[in-house]
C-alpha cells in the first residue's frame, strides 16, 4: 500500500524552477526541450520518490537536489561537480545521464577540462575499507605470555619440569589453533529460513520486520507508527536489519528485487521486481501489507 510522505516534501510538492536557457546551437529551442532540472524533477515524481528519498539514496544534500531541480547549479561548486551530481541524480530516478550531460555541456560551451587533484564530490564518497581484528598482534602477545610463563617455571625449579613443559606445550597449541580459526574470514550467511519455533518466539503484541539484502545492494528507509525514522541507509548484499513497533512499520525499498522480507516471523513471498521502488506498511498479526 502506498504511504503518505512527510508534510512539505511529497513528490508532488510544487517548487519553483527556472526555465532552461535558450539553446539554438543544435536547432532545438528552450520551448521544445525541457530544462535539465525539469526533466530530473519529473522523473523523480514519476518514480514516487521525495527529495528526502533521493538525498538519502545518493548522499547529495537536500539543498543541492532542490537547486539542481530549479536549474541552479551554483551550489554545486563548479562544472565538474555539477556534472557529477547530474549523473548521480539521473541514475537514481532511472534516467540515462548522457543526454542531460550533453545538454549541460551545450548550454555552457562544452565539457570542462579536468580539475587536477579535485576532491570527490559528495555523492560519490568512497567508503573506508573495513578492517578486521589484528590477529597477528594477538598471536604475538600469546607467544610472549607463554615464553614468560616458561621462564618463571624454570626459575622456580619446583621439580615438575616434565608436567610443566607438557602443560605449556598444550596451552601454546590451543592458543595457536584458536588464533588460526579466528583469523579465517567466514562467509556471510544467507538469510535464515524462519522455523516454527522462531515464528512462535515473535511477540504477538508487536509487529516485527526483518529486511535482508539477499540478492544485491539496496537503499531502505524504515519508520515506526509515530513517523520516527528507525533506519535510513544502504544494506550491502548479505546484510540485514530488524525493526519492531507496537503498531506498524513503514518501509521504503529502493531496489525491492534485492530484498527478502520476514514479517512477524513469516517469509514474504511477494515477487518484487529488480530496480522497483516499493512502499509497504506491516502491522501486528499475519504478515499482510497494511
Return the pLDDT at 287. 67
Q: What is the pLDDT of residues 269-289, one digit of tens each?
A: 877 888 788 888 988 776 655
Question: Grid coordinates standing for 227?
Answer: 513517523
Q: What is the pLDDT of residues 121-131, one digit of tens each?
A: 444 444 444 55
What string of H, E and C letters represents the secondary structure of the chain?
CCCCCCCCCCCCCCCCCCCCCCCCCCCCCCCCCCCHHHHHHHHHHHCCCCHHHHHHHHCCCHHHHHHHHCCCCHHHCCHHHHHHHHHHHHHHCCCCHHHHHHHHHHHCCCCCCCCCCCCCCHHHCCCCCCCCCCHHHHHHHHHHHHHHHHHHHHHHCCCCHHHHHHHHHHHHHHHHHHHHHHHCCCCCCCCCCCCHHHHHHCCCCCEEEEEEECCCCEEEEEECCCCCEEEEEEECCCCEEEEEECCEEEEEECCHHHEEEEECCEECCCCCCCCCCEEEEEECCCCCEC
Binned at pLDDT 50, 70 and 90, residue 216 comes out as: confident
Return the pLDDT at 46. 94
Q: What is the pLDDT of residues 92-119, one digit of tens each?
A: 999 999 999 999 999 887 655 554 444 4
Q: What is the pLDDT of residues 25-45, one digit of tens each?
A: 444 454 578 999 999 999 999
Average the pLDDT over 137-142 and give the result: 78
Alpha-carbon gap, residue 231 to 250, rounded angstroms = 11
Decide: residue 209, CB within 10 A, 0-12 exposed, 13-18 middle, 19+ buried. Answer: buried
pTM: 0.36
pLDDT higher than threshold 90 for residue 241: yes
Amino acid at each position: 500500500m502506498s504511504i503518505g510522505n512527510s508534510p512539505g516534501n511529497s513528490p508532488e510538492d510544487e517548487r519553483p524552477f527556472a526555465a532552461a536557457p535558450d539553446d539554438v546551437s543544435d536547432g532545438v529551442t528552450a520551448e521544445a526541450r525541457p530544462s535539465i532540472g525539469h526533466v530530473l524533477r519529473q522523473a523523480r515524481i514519476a518514480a514516487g520518490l521525495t527529495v528526502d528519498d533521493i538525498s538519502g539514496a545518493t548522499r547529495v544534500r537536500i539543498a543541492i537536489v532542490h537547486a539542481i531541480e530549479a536549474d541552479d547549479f551554483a551550489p554545486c561548486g563548479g562544472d565538474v561537480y555539477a556534472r557529477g551530481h547530474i549523473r548521480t541524480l539521473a541514475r537514481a530516478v532511472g534516467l540515462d545521464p548522457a543526454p542531460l550531460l550533453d545538454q549541460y555541456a551545450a548550454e555552457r560551451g562544452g565539457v570542462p577540462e579536468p580539475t587536477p587533484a579535485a576532491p570527490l564530490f559528495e555523492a560519490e564518497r568512497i567508503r573506508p575499507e573495513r578492517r578486521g581484528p589484528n590477529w597477528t598482534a594477538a598471536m604475538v602477545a600469546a607467544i610472549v605470555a607463554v615464553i614468560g610463563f616458561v621462564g618463571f617455571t624454570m626459575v622456580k625449579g619446583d621439580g615438575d619440569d616434565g608436567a610443566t613443559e607438557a602443560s605449556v606445550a598444550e596451552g601454546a597449541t590451543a592458543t595457536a589453533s584458536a588464533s588460526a580459526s579466528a583469523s579465517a574470514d567466514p562467509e556471510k550467511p544467507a538469510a535464515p529460513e524462519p522455523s516454527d519455533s522462531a515464528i512462535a518466539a515473535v511477540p504477538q503484541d508487536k509487529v516485527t520486520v526483518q529486511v535482508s539484502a539477499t540478492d544485491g545492494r539496496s537503499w531502505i528507509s524504515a519508520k515506526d507508527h509515530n513517523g520516527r525514522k528507525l533506519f535510513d541507509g544502504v544494506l550491502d548484499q548479505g546484510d540485514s536489519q530488524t525493526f519492531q513497533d507496537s503498531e506498524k512499520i513503514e518501509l521504503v525499498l529502493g531496489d525491492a528485487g534485492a530484498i527478502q522480507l520476514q514479517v512477524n516471523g513469516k517469509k514474504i513471498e511477494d515477487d518484487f521486481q529488480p530496480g522497483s521502488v516499493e512502499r509497504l506498511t506491516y502491522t501486528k498479526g499475519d504478515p499482510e501489507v497494511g
